[in-house]
Structures are given as structure tokens and as C-alpha cells.
């Protein structure tokens, strides 16, 4: 098998086995629960949601799921193979992403630089490797970006066959808006590189492609409304800073991000690496995104190498034939992947971590018979999966910045009066808060409230009469 195929295949298989071995870590997110629940609803109703049917605070309010296709896939896999199916699909999608990245890099670069950049990307993306819709969209993102970059490298228009990719991405995950935005710098580079007499024609053709991509991205159950979801999320402003994955990258402790960043800077200084101006702007833009919101580390790790590959080829070594793999070794890789798929889930028994699975506390809430529940943000997904209407959950764009900020100030006692008003105005009659939440101690001392259940994960209080303090 040729090296250009064999090495990407090896990367895919080895990373797939590694991710299966670490499969429980892919389930370390509360949102996976409600993603599957939404998929169940769509399968049962044969429709995509247009209003909230889960919370009691925003029931009936407009809400759409721009991730509907991935949610249906996850729900189907969960009911067919349990958490093993969800983990295996996520692991394969993520591993395939880096296999594809290696393949595209090897079209321009020698083997060692290609592998080094792919593995650096893996380290950057690792914190956000979760069984969520974005995982299924990652291979599509790489193929889309690679198609745009290849067109720029070859000084031609992108293939019209890219349009089905952006349509698929738009139905898998809301990050497709980034893919549309990515057309701009590639078109700018094409415009700057064209002869003066050709620039008007180049501009018109790229504008036509951009409009076609925008139209293709509207081929969803929601039409152009899917594009507006990104605006609503980014419009959350200060509320985003309270959500872990949306917070800026922290350098308080040495980690993978800092390691890769310092290694890249050091190598570029040592080898005097240079890039064309537009590609410098793209890499710096991606770096800014990753620094300002840690979840964007995957975009830096996956997209920046594609833009850097062709300019780096003369400096680091261009594509070479290399040595491929003999068929027995390829067969061994296939056997390894199959064995890992069949055996690892059986022995590792994947399931989400206890901190996002408050099973006993949820049972206590159900037993109380109360319905006006105030819950911790990270418990919302599990509550939805268990048929309990939460006060709040991971669909932050539904609740909006003001609601989320007031909620955070209340339960964390940044404003005690705000917590007391919330209990009264919302007629809260039961709470299920994470064990370390400041409001737990206040409820213990508040007349009319009784601690009904507690463990290391969650504490349940029930209103038993009387007024809040």
C-alpha cells in the first residue's frame, strides 16, 4: 500500500484504539445525555424541534437544534449498542479526522513533518474530545478546509463537490458557520495572487462560490435559521465566560496547549520558518480563537497545519514517495481495530462519570412529587434524559445571557438577595444542587426547607412550608 495511504490509515487505527481505551473520558460531558434525548424525540416524532419541550422555565419558547442529524445518529447508536456505540462512533470520527489530516498534509509535506503536525493537532484537540455532535462533524471540517486550501495552493476555484460537505456539516453541528467564514481568507489570497486583469473575474467566481456555499448551508430543517444559532451563542457575551469550554485558555499550569505552542514557536525561530501574509493572518486568527476560548484548540490544531503545509514544503521537505506498508501489516491494523471494537467495550464498560449522573438525587426529586426544580447547570442533561424538567441545562442559547447570569449569581450566592428572589418568583419547591454549591449551605439554614437527600455528587432540598428567609 502506498505511503500516502498507509500512514494515514495507521494513524486512524492507532488513535481509534487509543480513544476506545480511554472511552469513558469521551463521556465526561453532561450535554451527551440531552443530545441523545433530543435524538430520541426526533425519531419518535419524525420531526425536528422548533420549541423547547424539556425545561419548565422556557417550555414552549422557540428553540431549534442545529445538530439534529448528529443527535439522531447518537440516539440510534445508543439504543442499538448502549454507550459502547456512542463511544465507538465518536472515537472513529475523531481518529478519522487525524487520519485525514495526515493524508492531506502528506500531499504537500514529507512524512515526519506531517506526522508531527498531526500529533500536535491531536494534543491541542484532546481537551474537547467528547461524544458530542462536533465529534461527528470534525472529519467534514477537515475535508472542507483541505478542499479550500488545495484550491488556493493550485490557484484555482474550489470544487463544487465541496458544497455537499458544507450542507452535511450544517446538519451535524453549528460550527459550519466557521467553514463559511473560512472562504474569505482563501478568496482574498486568490484575489491578491491573480494578475490585475484577472482580478474582477476571480472576485466574481469566489463570490459565486461563497453564495452557493451559503445556500447549501441552508439545506437543513430550519433553512437559514441554523446560521442564526451561532449569533445567539456568541451573543451570550459574559455568560460564556462562566462555562468551562468557553473560557480562555489557562496557563496557570503547564499543559498540552502550552507544550505544543512553545515547541512550535521554538522550531519556527530555529528554522526561520516563514509563511505568506494571508496565511499568517489565518494562523494568528486561529491562535486568537484558541486562546480566547479553550474549545477552539481543535480548530487551531486541525486547520492551521492545512494552511501552513504548502508554504512549509520547500523549508521542511516536500512530498516524497516513502515506504508504504505490506498487505500483512495492513491486515494486522484492520484486525487490531476490529479486536478493539469487540473487546474493549466489553471490559471497560463505558458510562458517563458520576459528577454528571446524579442518579440517586434525581430519584429523590422524583419521589418528592415537586416540579418547580432548581438544579445545577451540569445536571440538566441527565434530568432531561430521565424525564425530569430542569430549571436550566446546557442549551444556554435558549435561556439567554440575562437568565444565565442571574441564575449563576443566585446559586453561587454572589448576591444572596437574588437567590431569595429566585426562590420566591419562580416558586421553587425542590432543589438539586452540586454538593459544593454555596446555596446548599444557605438552604440548610433556611426555615421551610429540608435536606431530603445528599451524597458526594448532589444535595436535594424540599420546601416543606413556611417562607424563604
Q: Are residues 238 and 361 in the same domain?
A: no
Q: Are residues 198 and 236 in the same domain?
A: yes
- Pairing of β 449-454 and β 430-434: unpaired
Q: What is the mean pLDDT of residues 6-35?
A: 93
| Residue 274 maps to a domain | yes
Q: What is the model's pLDDT at position 42?
A: 96
| Residue 289 maps to a domain | yes
Q: Are residues 317 and 359 in the same domain?
A: no
Q: What is the mean pLDDT of residues 258-266?
A: 94
Contact assessment for residue 159 and residue 151, using Cβ atoms and an 8 Å cutoff: yes
Last residue of one domain, picked from the residues 269, 303, 333: 333
Using CA atoms of 124, 128, 134, 138 in order, give the dihedral in degrees to the nearest 10. 20
Q: Are residues 60 and 95 in the same domain?
A: yes
| Residue 117 maps to a domain | yes
Q: What is the mean pLDDT of residues 132-157?
A: 95
The string of DSSP letters for 61-84 reads: SB---TTHHHHHHHHHHHHHHHHH
The string of DSSP letters for 349-373 reads: -----GGG--HHHHHHHHHHT---E
Q: Are residues 370 and 299 in the same domain?
A: no
Q: Are residues 16 and 120 in the same domain?
A: yes
264 has pLDDT over 50: yes
Across all residues in the chain, what is the average pLDDT? 92
Q: Are residues 56 and 141 in the same domain?
A: yes
| Residue 340 maps to a domain | no
List the domain range (segments joined by +) for residue 436. Answer: 354-463
Give the span between the Cα atoms of 215 and 80, in whole angstroms. Answer: 35
The string of DSSP letters for 291-346 reads: HH-GGGHHHHHHHHHHHHHHHHHHHH-B--------HHHHHHHHHHHHHHHHHHHH
Q: Are residues 293 and 373 in the same domain?
A: no
Q: Are residues 270 and 410 in the same domain?
A: no
Q: What is the mean pLDDT of residues 396-424?
A: 93
Q: What is the model's pLDDT at position 412?
A: 95
468 has pLDDT over 60: no
Domain count, the chain: 2
346 has pLDDT over 70: yes
| Residue 396 maps to a domain | yes
| Residue 14 maps to a domain | yes
Give the percent of the chain with pLDDT over 90: 76
Give the span between the Cα atoms of 353 and 24, in whole angstroms. Answer: 8
Q: Are residues 328 and 196 in the same domain?
A: yes
328 has pLDDT over 80: no
| Residue 341 maps to a domain | no
Query: Global pTM?
Result: 0.93
The string of DSSP letters for 134-196 reads: HHHHHHHHHHHHHHHHHHHHTTSPPPGGGHHHHHHHHHH-TTHHHHHHTHHHHHHHHHHHS-G
Q: Are residues 446 and 310 in the same domain?
A: no
| Residue 133 maps to a domain | yes
Per-residue pLDDT tens over the stretch 62-114? 999 999 999 999 999 999 999 999 999 999 999 999 999 999 999 999 999 99
Coil, helix or strand at residue 461 = strand
Q: What is the model's pLDDT at position 324?
A: 67
Q: What is the model's pLDDT at position 232?
A: 80
Amino acid at each position: 500500500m502506498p505511503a500516502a495511504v498507509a500512514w494515514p490509515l495507521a494513524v486512524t487505527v492507532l488513535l481509534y484504539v487509543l480513544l476506545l481505551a480511554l472511552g469513558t473520558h469521551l463521556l465526561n460531558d453532561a450535554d451527551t445525555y440531552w443530545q441523545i434525548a433530543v435524538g430520541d424525540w426526533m425519531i419518535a416524532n419524525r420531526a425536528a424541534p422548533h420549541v423547547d419541550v424539556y425545561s419548565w422555565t422556557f417550555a414552549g419558547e422557540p428553540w431549534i437544534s442545529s445538530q439534529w442529524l448528529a443527535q439522531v445518529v447518537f440516539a440510534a447508536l445508543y439504543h442499538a449498542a448502549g454507550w459502547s456505540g456512542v463511544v465507538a462512533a465518536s472515537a472513529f470520527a475523531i481518529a478519522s479526522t487525524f487520519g485525514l489530516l495526515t493524508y492531506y498534509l502528506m500531499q504537500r509535506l514529507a512524512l515526519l513533518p506531517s506526522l508531527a503536525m498531526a500529533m500536535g493537532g491531536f494534543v491541542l484537540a484532546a481537551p474537547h474530545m467528547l461524544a458530542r455532535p462536533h465529534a461527528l462533524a470534525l472529519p467534514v471540517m477537515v475535508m472542507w478546509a483541505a478542499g479550500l486550501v488545495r484550491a488556493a495552493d493550485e490557484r484555482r476555484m474550489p470544487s463544487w463537490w465541496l458544497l455537499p460537505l458544507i450542507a452535511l456539516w450544517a446538519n451535524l453541528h453549528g460550527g459550519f458557520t466557521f467553514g463559511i467564514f473560512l472562504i474569505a481568507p482563501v478568496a482574498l489570497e486568490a484575489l491578491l495572487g491573480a494578475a490585475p486583469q484577472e482580478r474582477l473575474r476571480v472576485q466574481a467566481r469566489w463570490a459565486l462560490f461563497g453564495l452557493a456555499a451559503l445556500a447549501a448551508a441552508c439545506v437543513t430543517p430550519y433553512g437559514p435559521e441554523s446560521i442564526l444559532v451561532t449569533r445567539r451563542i456568541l451573543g451570550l457575551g459574559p455568560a460564556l465566560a462562566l462555562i468551562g469550554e468557553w473560557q480562555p485558555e489557562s496557563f496557570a499550569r503547564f499543559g498540552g496547549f502550552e507544550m505544543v505552542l512553545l515547541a512550535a514557536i521554538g522550531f519556527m525561530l530555529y528554522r526561520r520558518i516563514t509563511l505568506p501574509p494571508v496565511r499568517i493572518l489565518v494562523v494568528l486568527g486561529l491562535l486568537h480563537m484558541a486562546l480566547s476560548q479553550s474549545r477552539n484548540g481543535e480548530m487551531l490544531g486541525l486547520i492551521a497545519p492545512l494552511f501552513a503545509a504548502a508554504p512549509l514544503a520547500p523549508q521542511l521537505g516536500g512530498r516524497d514517495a516513502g515506504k508504504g506498508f505490506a498487505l500483512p501489516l495492513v491486515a494486522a491494523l484492520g484486525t487490531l481495530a476490529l479486536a478493539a471494537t469487540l473487546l474493549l467495550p466489553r471490559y471497560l464498560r463505558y458510562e458517563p462519570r458520576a459528577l454528571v449522573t446524579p442518579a440517586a438525587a434525581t430519584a429523590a426529586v422524583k419521589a418528592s412529587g415537586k416540579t418547580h426544580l432548581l438544579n445545577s447547570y451540569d445536571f440538566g442533561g441527565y434530568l432531561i434524559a430521565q424525564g425530569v424538567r430542569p430549571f436550566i441545562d446546557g442549551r444556554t442559547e435558549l435561556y439567554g445571557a440575562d437568565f444565565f447570569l442571574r441564575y449563576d449569581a443566585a446559586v453561587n450566592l454572589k448576591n444572596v438577595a437574588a437567590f431569595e428572589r429566585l426562590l420566591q418568583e419562580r416558586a421553587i419547591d425542590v432543589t438539586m444542587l452540586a454538593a459544593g454549591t454555596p446555596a446548599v449551605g444557605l438552604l440548610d439554614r433556611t426555615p421551610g426547607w429540608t435536606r431530603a437527600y445528599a451524597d458526594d455528587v448532589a444535595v436535594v432540598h424540599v420546601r416543606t412550608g413556611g417562607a424563604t428567609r
